[in-house]
A and B are shown apart, each in its own frame.
Chain A
């Protein structure tokens, strides 16, 4: 009996630290397949390219922790950068003003989600699926489906380095992680997000304003989505009609790979989501360096994400099982 308990405990520890195990595994795997993968330059590149997915994934983590989901982040990225781009074209705004407008648009988008989910009580999956379609449509209408290019003042941010050392996207990603960590662990709202995700009904009984907490999660998610969108555009230089499409998949995958449970209440921003986001990027960079057939890329990514979700489910079931058995003597 002791052996099974021991085995279970080891298994659980492994499942709990899965992000780190997966990360090291992937890293080594690609390192063997493509030796130049280990160079500082390629690692820096991977993290830099991961930064915008990472920021969106951090926001996604908030929603997942409450037990919800936000499918509309890709459309949010698109719509808020389109709005910012159009304002720049028309009013010749400074980068700072454009940034504020972009975040403001993301905030408004997110408030819509929060309203539909918490007030109209539509299931998050359907609510955000609807805003995904609607947001993309609105953005296309505003931009007439044309690509909108951003001025050099903004694209400079994408390639500049802080103190000529660390690329700005990485700095901003780090700041996002820090802010999110403080919010989740050092504020009452953060702790209540975990409580709501663990059991909505218990949270209500404990006197938590569950409507507000869930709304906050969607708003944080939307604001971070537009922030990530802005940083991505700063790297790309323009917004085309397909911008952000599929980003919801990358963001959810990064969060889940990073150990955030789809069942809510479990997982951490650091190092979880950081590793998850870099992993997503590592897979695509790694596959390129390993010269894997381009058509296989999406299938391999899907496989890895499938594995992450399976691990998440398995962990939840195992946790339940272990709690079931309490030998109690006295």
Chain B
């Protein structure tokens, strides 16, 4: 019986007095895929960061293949045969694949340190073969698709003979085919003797792929066992600590006849073509499309971040032409972007500052005032945070970075609510957040719509749209290819519309 790949013994970690992990004792058998699930803030990342040498535990010990494992930094973990593939890939787009594979240790010819290009190219080629990526080793990484970039990261792990590979949310930016490709690669690696840790919010995928399941909640190990002991329902019960009967809140809002946002013939050549629709008061309008269908680009144009060459946008009876975001906000629009880390939040700034940012004009004492009324801001931010059930210790000092994904998303929404928007554009509002937080986001959408706002919700999860929306538009290749009322919701037809026009119009190089 070979020793376990990894053994945690009573591992605990505290951050600023908050327990992130308490007394985790866990062993991971070798040559298995181990799925770790838990809500945001359950301790998954902390546990993996400890394993990867990014964080040191307060108490407890680890062994790696029978040897004590006490990494002082990521380099130590790498030496112990552990590779950590983060959700945001750690690659250098300006360098070639081969440079990326060997950036921290090229094969060398001589003492002078000149690189052995031939050897590097050979081993790179071999590693790429293993992961099934067939492109020249000199290709610049920035010219690869996200899926291919991920394969490069895995090739890097394989090239170093990693015995344990941690995959943190590896599927979140992949299409279905790419996911299947990744899964078969994971199986190949497992059969070759690698241990894989698979972290994902997609419970179906975890159940399908893993040999063993580990469920964490609030920093504690709730349950672990072979996958045959688990169903999706049990994982949810274990994760949340209670039974969630409904993943979606009941719909409470009813759309009225009043039109809030009317879009007609909006075009930006090469991006979107002839987009027309109307958003009503109290309506939740879904916008479904695959990545690259033009849905985010449409949202950016509506909000005035990008220009359009033709068409009309009328928001609450006010035409918007060549508008800037400031005018959009003034006309009652709000835009919650898909990437809250880069666009929506100032990660280092406090919660209060983030909330106040979009609403400085409204929160400052009076309209004409140039002074910032800090007390008014604090009151309002507290009120909004309470309404949205945003959980944070200290609004004034805690930075946005320290919030969990779900709470960050609430923070972005809170920030926009202070501008009293009538029209909300939400781009992927539930990406990367856990089941419980999703439920709360849907509830917020419901309440806003019931309060008379119009919501345009962009998503690539059809199920969430069919459960929450009054109407769904399907975009593909820059055009609207389907308009479904709630009574006509049919996943098959919608998917069909989403793929329409792609095969004929797409260039071969843009795959």
Give the residues from 76 to 94 in chain B that come closer than 8 angstroms, CB to CB, to chain A.
Answer: 78, 86, 90-94
Q: Is B487 an interface residue (CB 8 A)?
A: no
Chain B residues packing against A (C-beta within 8 Å): 73-75, 78, 86, 90-95, 99, 102-106, 108, 113-115, 117, 142, 145-146, 175-178, 269-271, 290-292, 297, 477-478, 499, 502-503, 505-507, 510-511
Most chain B CB within a 10 A radius of its CB, from A198, A205, A208, A327? A327
Contact partner of B103 among A2, A182, A206, CB < 8 A? A206
- Chain B residues near A319 (CB-CB < 8 A): 142
Is the beta-carbon distance between A326 and B510 smaller than 8 angstroms?
A: yes
Q: Is the CB of A328 within 8 A of B145?
A: yes
Nearest CB of chain B from residue A193's CB, rounded to whole Å: 11
Taking a contact as CB atoms closer than 8 A, the residue among A4, A202, A265, A328 that contacts B91 in the complex is: A202
- 1/0 per residue, CB under 8 A from B, across A202-227: the answer is 11011110000000000000000000
Since A3-B270, A325-B297, A327-B292 are in contact, a sample of 14 more A-B pairs with Cβ atoms closer than 8 Å, ordered by chain A residue number, is A1-B271, A5-B270, A188-B105, A191-B99, A191-B106, A192-B103, A194-B95, A194-B99, A195-B99, A208-B104, A325-B271, A328-B145, A329-B290, A329-B502
Asked if B104 and A329 make an inter-chain contact with CB atoms under 8 angstroms apart, the answer reads no
Inter-chain CA distance A197–B478, complex, in Å, is 35
| Cβ–Cβ < 8 Å partners of A187 in chain B | 113-115
Which residues of chain A are within 8 angstroms of B86 by Cβ–Cβ distance?
205
| Across-interface contacts of A208 in B (CB, < 8 A) | 103-104
Cβ B92 vs Cβ A188 within 8 A: no
- List the A side residues contacting B105 at CB < 8 Å: 188
Interface string of A176-201 (1 = CB under 8 A from B): 00000010001111011011011100
> Which residues 1-24 in A have Cβ within 8 Å of B in the complex?
1-5
B65 CB to nearest A CB, Å: 21
A330 located at the interface, meaning its Cβ lies under 8 Å from any Cβ of chain B in the complex: yes
Q: A206 to nearest B CB, angstroms?
A: 6
Query: A199 contacts B507, CB within 8 Å?
Result: no
**Those 10 A-B pairs whose CB atoms lie nearest each other, nearest first:** A4-B270, A330-B177, A1-B270, A207-B104, A327-B292, A327-B510, A329-B502, A198-B92, A265-B94, A207-B75
Chain A residues with Cβ under 8 A from B507's Cβ?
Answer: 2, 5, 327
Closest to A330 in B: B177
Shortest C-beta distance, A196 to chain B (Å), equals: 9
Contact of A189 among B94, B102, B113, B270 (CB under 8 A): B113
B204 to chain A, nearest CB (A): 19
Instruction: Give the docked Cα–Cα distance between A4 and B294 (Å).
Output: 15
Interface-central residue, A187, A189, A319, by most chain B CB under 10 Å: A187
Q: Of all chain A residues, which has the CB nearest B478?
A: A1
Given contacts A1-B269, A1-B478, A328-B511, contact A199 B92 (CB under 8 A): yes
Closest to A266 in B: B94
Q: Which residues of B contact A188 (CB under 8 A)?
A: 105-106, 108, 113, 115
A186 with B115: CB separation less than 8 A? yes
Residues of chain A within 8 A (CB-CB) of B291 are 326, 328
A281, B269: Cα distance in complex, Å: 43
Q: Chain A residues near B176: list those with CB within 8 A.
A: 330
| Bound CA–CA A36/B426 (angstroms) | 65
Check: A323 CB closer than 8 A to any chain B CB: yes
Cα separation A41 to B503 with both chains bound (whole Å): 60
Inter-chain contacts of B290 with A (CB < 8 A): 328-329
A5: B residues at CB distance < 8 A: 270, 507, 510
Option from B92, B102, B115, B477 in Cβ contact (under 8 Å) with A327: B477
CB neighbours (8 Å) of B117 from chain A are: 186
CB neighbours (8 Å) of A197 from chain B are 94
- With known contacts A206-B104, A328-B175, A186–B114 Cβ distance under 8 A: yes
Decide if A198 touches B95 in the complex (CB within 8 Å): yes
Give the Cβ gap from A49 to chain B, nearest Cβ, in Å. 33
Which of chain A's residues have a CB closer than 8 A to the CB of B510? Answer: 5, 326-327
Q: How far is the CB of B84 from chain A (nearest CB, A)?
A: 9
